Amino acid sequence: MARDWGDDMYADRIELIFDAGHRLLKYKGECEAPHGHTFKAEIILSSEKLDQTGFMVDFVDLRDKIGGWIDENWDHAFLANEQDEELLDALNLLKEKKIFIFHNQNPTAEVMAKYLYDYVYKLYGNLVSKVRIWESPNQYAEYFKR
């Protein structure tokens, strides 16, 4: 039997896997030393409507754009807090390096989730529902607007 309550909602979701290094400044614990994770970014878009093709967004397009940004900026990069001078000095001694700077923030999964959300929002506007950053198979941070 059809339910006669609630509005239609569709959700599209993609996962993108990438590897990156980081460390957390002014933190006592495992994450104060430089180390890496295989991260997973989950992007969830939602809408009440579909286009004429029957899509909310084209998955190929979504993957190309967001995956392209992640490949270029975060994959195999070292994610660093701009204030972490000791780390940046050390990384700058290396000939080969890929560094992504977060302005005055630690590269935590929460901060990364908001950063990626803001990028996806620029492309898809209000279709963006949530961005999750998985730091390990059993924990993620999520950013969304309520």
Closest CB 35 distance from Zn ion, rounded Å: 6
Nearer to Zn ion, 31 or 123 (CB): 31
**Segment lying near Zn ion (by CB under 5 A), choices 11-19, 28-36, 38-46, 88-96:** 28-36
Please give the structure tokens belonging to residue 138.
């059993």
| Cα 126 to the center of its chain, rounded Å | 17
Number of residues that bind Zn ion (CB under 5 A): 1
**Angle (nearest 5°) at CA 112 between 106 and 118:** 125
* Contact criterion met (CB below 8 Å) for 23 and 90: no
Compute the distance between CA of residue 22 and CA of residue 108 in angstroms, rounded to an integer. Answer: 8
**Segment lying near Zn ion (by CB under 5 A), choices 12-20, 27-35, 59-67, 89-97:** 27-35
Tell me if 91 contacts Zn ion by CB under 5 A: no
Closest CB 146 distance from Zn ion, rounded Å: 27
Chain residue whose CB lies nearest Zn ion: 31
**Segment lying near Zn ion (by CB under 5 A), choices 8-16, 31-39, 96-104, 106-114:** 31-39
Tell me if 31 contacts Zn ion by CB under 5 A: yes
114-137 per-residue burial string, b: 16 or more CB within 10 A, e: under 16: bbbbebbeeebeebbbbbbbbbee
Q: Which residues sit at the interface with Zn ion, rule CB under 5 A?
A: 31
